[in-house]
Structure 1
Amino acid sequence: MPNPNLIQLLDNFDREEILNCMQCGFCLPACPTYRQTGKESASPRGRIALMKGVVDGQLNVDAEFEDNMYLCLGCRACETACPAGVPYGSLLETARDVVERNKKDIGEHSFLRDLLFEEIFPNPDRIDRLGTMLWASQTLGLQKLANKMGLINLLPRPMREMQSAVDQVASPWQRMKRESVIHPEPDASQNLRVGMFKGCIMDVMFFETNQATARVLTKAGCEVVFVEEQACCGALHAHSGEQNGAKELAKRNIEAFEAAGVDLIVNNAGGCGAALKEYHHWFHDDPQWQERAMKFVAKCRDANELAAELFSALEFRGELPGVRITYQDSCHLAHGQGVRAQPRQLLRSIPGVEYVEMMEADRCCGSAGIYNITNFDMSMEVLDEKMENVKSTSAHLVVTSNPGCLLQMRKGIQRAGCEGQMEAVHIMDLLDRVL
């Protein structure tokens, strides 16, 4: 049954930006899905043409349109390649929002989707409880038993495959005893009060990476505050066509960090950081919240940015003699935030290491939030191509700046048969190790 509200929904598209796409094709070689399929509809140029067709009433918001929008990884490499500066990521989010709101209007609800985006991700306590269940499963050996007995095969293939890349998560007691404020070392020369954006999944599955990030920043002279009232950044909502939910999470975070009275807001996940730095765009139609969002965005820094800025205060007390390191860019850190030089500067400064630049280091690894769950086969095709470049570096350590990339690179190492030869590690964990 046609949706009578569809015309109003289509007004959400920025027609001017759609028309700014010159259809030049510079984006094609930068697009992972176009490289894998060779299909015009799987390219940024093709998807924008489909959006224009929908806006002009020549195409329907149907299953084919939905499939083409969700095949995209959202890596935003096309934005870096685009000579016209078309904000493809924003257009994609709008397209997915139109798809999902249209489905809701015509009664095509997904119980699982509502559960994830309305009941789980917006509630840190529920994510924490799920983390405790995962910890118990690992600690009691249930995960290993399920693998050994074949019970793991009851899970959908993407979850079955990716669970092997998940390390032991922190215990609930470790998470509970964390100090809310971590003070800088006594002889520190800096005087910054930094709010740590800990993320939702990040703070459960990569709790120790958050702790490592805090230690690195305190060694640089920062007082690090874990603001308890914060929520999920909203990136998964925005990328999945749930823009209203994304805005509500953004409001919660803006209020929480306003109340915390911090000088800067720091995160260690490229995907989260890109969302945090774009909050003001989410409120383009709400002047009051946009003003508050702009003040929030002005304080946001990736941990690599701040560590590089305060580098003179960092003292390396360890070294990694003879260790070869390469760096895999987080798409949303490189293309979304433009942070490329700082992590490389930090890695090259570690005593004893040999830094090797990877060919096409900023090409997507195929993680893309939950893409390796929702589009597993395409994700693995992109990953396998990436691993050819990884292997050519002969690196011992593959360093990343995003938790999704970290899991994906671990999976890639497994698939490439390189276990025991190389290890994937988050840059903050590595810096903490040598500081």
Structure 2
Amino acid sequence: MSTTIQEQFTDRIPDEELLNCMRCGFCLPACPTYVETQDEVHSPRGRIALMKAVRDGLITEYEEVEHSLNVCLGCRACEPACPAGVNYGSMLEEARAIFQEQKKKSFKEKATRKVVFDQLFPNQKRMKQATGLLSFYQRSGLQKVTRKIGFMRLFPKHLAEMEKALPKVPKGIKRESNYFPVNKTNEKTVAFFTGCLMDTMFFETNQSTIKLLQLAGCNVHIPQTQNCCGALHGHSGELEGARQLAKKNIEAFEECEADYIITNAGGCGAFLHDYDHLLRDEPEWKERAEVFASKITDFTSILVDMKFHEQNTLQLTEEIATYQDSCHLRNVMGVKDAPRKLIKSISNVTYQELPRADQCCGSAGIYNIVQPEMSNQILDHKMEDVKGTKAHTIVTTNPGCLLQMKLGIQKEGLQDTIRAVHLADYLIEALQEK
């Protein structure tokens, strides 16, 4: 088994990529797990050194290596901080995939991964069914009964806390049309990537995004055969599943000749943006993936480019707002200023920059479920920064970040003074109250 893993590292993680790391240490202050632990094992350059040691056969016991890779948030804050342009994210995902493919799994783990990665997230019908059950749980009174009798105490503490922070799931999710035209000059034609979680649990946020795009002057298409982006698969070592989803999405959006492919979830957008890298070794898909990736645009970028905030009056009652960056939106897609510009354009809203807004909140997909201790440690420090801003509203642009900030508010007992909201919904609020 050890030889097989070493061979896989040799075949799939290029030595030149590993050697690009100069060990300069610029990544250290950007890495949340290093900041929390001050341990080189949990830094980007430390993990790269471990990967190289596995490749060179210097490490033959892999438990600590795999643990270090799993503790990594995958936020990729190290990449913009790196002067050598090390592609850390792709090496991390490849290394995780190798360990997942080679390790012996228990029946329980095999069954869980099959349900999650093969049957739930790639199937939007099942996602809607699961969300429907959650909606019933919330609306039927079962949630209140469950809490009252203390049933949630049977679960780990972090899961019980997350249950309290879940948003209200909309009832009867249904979209009346798949095409939303506008009658404006200089309009753009865009295709909207709805996502799996975004189009179920956060369906109303997707509806808000479509409305904003229309107001900006975009004809909006929604390809019906699109799937989950594959980010959860890619980050969890299921790269082959991610590739299959990528191919289905490329085919779905090729049918719609759009100027841009719009996303409103930073994690999804970044993974879609990297499809060209994901499919780089498949000649029949490489070029198609490059065309697809070149069109990926965050909704905030196109709203600013089309001067949505100048064409529409945005106003709310007087409050202080702050913004928590989506790691992947900022670090992979390079979108930093557009969300802030939109928030600052709302009358009566005082924008207060969040200290270390560029550092991960601890959500990172399902990281807060599988690595609760580190996730909560990061979140506690994040909430200290939030309280320092005296903000009434924390704005985010990613569903995982939104849930994590809601969890932080819940843990701190600040439900009556602070709220967390997706930027698309925040802008719609501002339009409704103009």
TM-score interval for Structure 1 and Structure 2 normalised by the shorter chain: over 0.9
Assess, with a 3 A threshold, how the Cα gap between structure 1 residues 406 and 107 changes in structure 2: closer, same or farther. Answer: closer
Task: Give 1:292 shift.
Answer: 0.3
Assess, with a 3 A threshold, how the Cα gap between structure 1 residues 55 and 242 changes in structure 2: closer, same or farther. Answer: same
Corresponding residue for residue 407 of structure 2: 411
- Report if the CA contact (8 A) 1:2-1:106 is conserved: no
Corresponding residue for residue 117 of structure 1: 117
- Report if the CA contact (8 A) 2:100-2:238 is conserved: yes
Task: Report the TM-score when normalising by structure 2.
Answer: 0.95
1:176 alignment partner AA: K
Assess, with a 3 A threshold, how the Cα gap between structure 1 residues 387 and 106 changes in structure 2: closer, same or farther. Answer: closer
Corresponding residue for residue 420 of structure 1: 416
Task: Give 1:380 shift.
Answer: 0.6
CA distance in 2, matches of 1:343, 1:167: 22
Task: Give 1:316 shift.
Answer: 3.1
CA distance in 2, matches of 1:312, 1:211: 17
- Report if the CA contact (8 A) 1:219-1:313 is conserved: no
CA distance in 1, matches of 2:101, 2:61: 11
Q: How many residues align?
A: 431
1:94 alignment partner AA: E
SS in 1 for 2:358: coil
1:99-138 pair list within 5 angstroms: 99-103=99-103, 110-138=110-138
CA distance in 1, matches of 2:91, 2:137: 41
Corresponding residue for residue 179 of structure 1: 177
Task: Give 1:8 shift.
Answer: 3.8
Task: Give 1:314 shift.
Answer: 5.4
2:40 alignment partner AA: E
CA distance in 1, matches of 2:335, 2:153: 40
**Structure 2 residue 149 is matched with structure 1 residue 153:** no
Correspondent of 2:286 among 286, 290, 299: 290
- Report if the CA contact (8 A) 1:316-1:350 is conserved: no
Corresponding residue for residue 305 of structure 1: 301
CA distance in 2, matches of 1:356, 1:290: 43
Assess, with a 3 A threshold, how the Cα gap between structure 1 residues 113 and 384 changes in structure 2: closer, same or farther. Answer: same
1:216-255 pair list within 5 angstroms: 216-255=212-251
- Report if the CA contact (8 A) 1:103-1:109 is conserved: no
Task: Give 1:61 shift.
Answer: 6.1
Task: Give 1:317 shift.
Answer: 3.7
Corresponding residue for residue 41 of structure 1: 41
Task: Give 1:31 shift.
Answer: 1.1
- Report if the CA contact (8 A) 1:325-1:397 is conserved: yes
Corresponding residue for residue 266 of structure 1: 262
- Report if the CA contact (8 A) 2:5-2:99 is conserved: no
Corresponding residue for residue 366 of structure 1: 362
Task: Give 1:12 shift.
Answer: 0.6
Assess, with a 3 A threshold, how the Cα gap between structure 1 residues 408 and 421 changes in structure 2: closer, same or farther. Answer: same
CA distance in 2, matches of 1:106, 1:203: 32
SS in 2 for 1:357: coil
Task: Give 1:207 shift.
Answer: 0.5
Correspondent of 2:427 among 419, 428, 431: 431
Corresponding residue for residue 62 of structure 2: 62
Corresponding residue for residue 210 of structure 2: 214
Task: Give 1:10 shift.
Answer: 3.6
Corresponding residue for residue 141 of structure 1: 141
- Name the stretch that deviates more: 63-72 or 4-13: 4-13
Task: Give 1:117 shift.
Answer: 1.0
1:289-348 Cα distance to aligned partner (Å, 9 max, x none) = 010011111111001111111115753344124211111110001111110011111111
SS in 2 for 1:301: strand
Percent identity at matched positions? 48
Assess, with a 3 A threshold, how the Cα gap between structure 1 residues 314 and 126 changes in structure 2: closer, same or farther. Answer: farther
* Structure 2 unaligned spans of 5+: none
- Report if the CA contact (8 A) 2:5-2:98 is conserved: no
CA distance in 2, matches of 1:157, 1:62: 30
CA distance in 1, matches of 2:137, 2:337: 40
CA distance in 1, matches of 2:8, 2:419: 50
- Report if the CA contact (8 A) 1:280-1:290 is conserved: yes
CA distance in 2, matches of 1:351, 1:230: 37
SS in 1 for 2:219: strand
CA distance in 2, matches of 1:38, 1:157: 26
**Structure 2 residue 196 is matched with structure 1 residue 200:** yes
1:27-76 Cα distance to aligned partner (Å, 9 max, x none) = 11111111111211111111111000100011136322211100000111
CA distance in 2, matches of 1:61, 1:106: 20
- Report if the CA contact (8 A) 1:304-1:343 is conserved: yes
**Structure 2 residue 95 is matched with structure 1 residue 95:** yes
SS in 2 for 1:161: helix
CA distance in 2, matches of 1:24, 1:128: 47
Corresponding residue for residue 375 of structure 1: 371
Which portions of structure 1, spanning 4 or more consecutive aligned residues, are displaced by more than 6 angstroms? Answer: 105-108
CA distance in 2, matches of 1:241, 1:3: 19
Task: Give 1:147 shift.
Answer: 1.2
CA distance in 2, matches of 1:30, 1:312: 33
- Report if the CA contact (8 A) 1:61-1:99 is conserved: no
Assess, with a 3 A threshold, how the Cα gap between structure 1 residues 178 and 3 changes in structure 2: closer, same or farther. Answer: farther
- Report if the CA contact (8 A) 1:271-1:402 is conserved: yes
- Name the stretch that deviates more: 115-124 or 44-53: 115-124
CA distance in 1, matches of 2:248, 2:5: 29
- Report if the CA contact (8 A) 2:314-2:427 is conserved: no
- Name the stretch that deviates more: 33-42 or 325-334: 33-42
**Structure 2 residue 365 is matched with structure 1 residue 385:** no
- Name the stretch that deviates more: 232-241 or 408-417: 408-417
RMSD: 1.9
Assess, with a 3 A threshold, how the Cα gap between structure 1 residues 302 and 178 changes in structure 2: closer, same or farther. Answer: same
CA distance in 2, matches of 1:75, 1:422: 25
CA distance in 2, matches of 1:263, 1:144: 47
CA distance in 1, matches of 2:147, 2:54: 46
Corresponding residue for residue 16 of structure 2: 16
- Report if the CA contact (8 A) 1:6-1:102 is conserved: no
Assess, with a 3 A threshold, how the Cα gap between structure 1 residues 360 and 4 changes in structure 2: closer, same or farther. Answer: closer
